[in-house]
Structure 1
Amino acid sequence: MKPKFKTRQAWEQAQTLMQPTLIRVVDQLRQRVDESPWEGEYEDVEEPLPGFQLRLQQGDRTHVLNLWDLCFQVCCLNYPAPHSIDADPEVDLDLQLLDAAGEVEWNILDEKVRQVLATTFATLESSP
């Protein structure tokens, strides 16, 4: 789902964060999949946003992770769960991810990506 930002400035700040976040998410996903019993395969998707999803398989269990949803979870404070009823949520950007000059805070970004992916994989392990 595509979030709505409350201000134009927040949208512009999100533009600054999304590419570095996507790169960090993909890199850390690769590491997590390599270290886990899951096998992963990327697939192109067109809806709701063009991009990629990661199909994870472990035996007869399959889970699909939308990369944009993961990136929005990292970049936003209040991004809803991927299967939420709210199709166009209004969100607040996590301003800790940017310094006073509007540049990416790389260490904070890396840690937030780790947290989001840890939560995501913990949820996968506990679901049928």
Structure 2
Amino acid sequence: MPPKITNSATWQQAELLMQPTFIRVVDNIRKHLDTSLWKGTYHDVLIWPPGTTDKTKAMVTQLLQDMETATPAQVEDIREHLALLPIPHPGYHLRLQHQEQQVNVDLWDLCYQVCFLNYSANNEPVDIDTSLVDESGDVDWQHLENKTQQLVKQVFDSLPEG
């Protein structure tokens, strides 16, 4: 679930940090995969709000597909209908596999853990980790790298042994 940002300063700092964080996360994962028995593949996924039924997911998916070939009047009707339904947000997962074992890692979640001090998937307000921003307001690359390495290492250390 995306973090709950409650002020514009946090939002601006998150915008500054998210792209470099994502790049560092993916690069550190690659380094671990180079020496691991686990194999990794990346997948685009849809993240649905909790409690969304399969029937509702199918309806939303069909409406989104219908929108691609709809007339302008039909598009407006579809938008009005979609406004009343839960809409998924895009996600990006790393699927780790070793023998018969499989583990999915939400990459955006991992990036949020890097960028924010108190990130949890419970939709609580978050604060930016200000150690990742230097005195001039730019990315502090060394702190970003250190924190990213630590969190990616935790992911690989928590994998079941096979």
**Fold match by TM threshold 0.5:** yes
Pairwise CA distance, 1:99: 0.7
**Structure 2 equivalent of residue 44 of structure 1:** 44
Match of 2:100 among 45, 57, 60: 60
Matches within 5 A, 1:3-42: 3-42=3-42
Match of 2:128 among 86, 93, 106: 93
Distance 2:125 2:102 in 1: 30
Distance 1:30 1:120 in 2: 13
Distance 2:36 2:108 in 1: 22
Residue 64 of structure 1 aligns to a residue whose secondary structure is strand
Identical columns (%): 44
More strand by share: 1
Matches within 5 A, 1:94-113: 94-113=129-148
Match of 1:108, as an amino acid?
A: H
Match of 1:9, as an amino acid?
A: A
Which is further off, 44-53 or 69-78?
44-53
Pairwise CA distance, 1:125: 3.4
Aligned residues: 122
Cα offsets for 1:57-80 (capped at 9, x unmatched): 011111001110010010111112
**Unaligned residue ranges in structure 1 (runs of 5+):** none
Match of 2:113, as an amino acid?
A: Q
Residue 160 of structure 2 aligns to a residue whose secondary structure is helix
Which structure: larger Rg? 2
Pairwise CA distance, 1:37: 0.8
Match of 2:129, as an amino acid?
A: D
TM score, norm. by length of structure 2: 0.71
Residue 125 of structure 1 aligns to a residue whose secondary structure is coil
Pairwise CA distance, 1:89: 2.5
Does residue 1:69 correspond to 2:109, yes or no?
Answer: yes
Displaced runs of 4 or more, over 6 A: none
Match of 2:13, as an amino acid?
A: Q
Distance 1:55 1:114 in 2: 19
Distance 1:22 1:40 in 2: 16
Cα-Cα RMSD: 1.6
Residue 115 of structure 1 aligns to a residue whose secondary structure is helix
Instruction: Determine if contact 1:52/1:67 at 8 Å carries over to the other structure.
Output: yes
**Unaligned residue ranges in structure 2 (runs of 5+):** 49-88
TM score, norm. by length of structure 1: 0.88
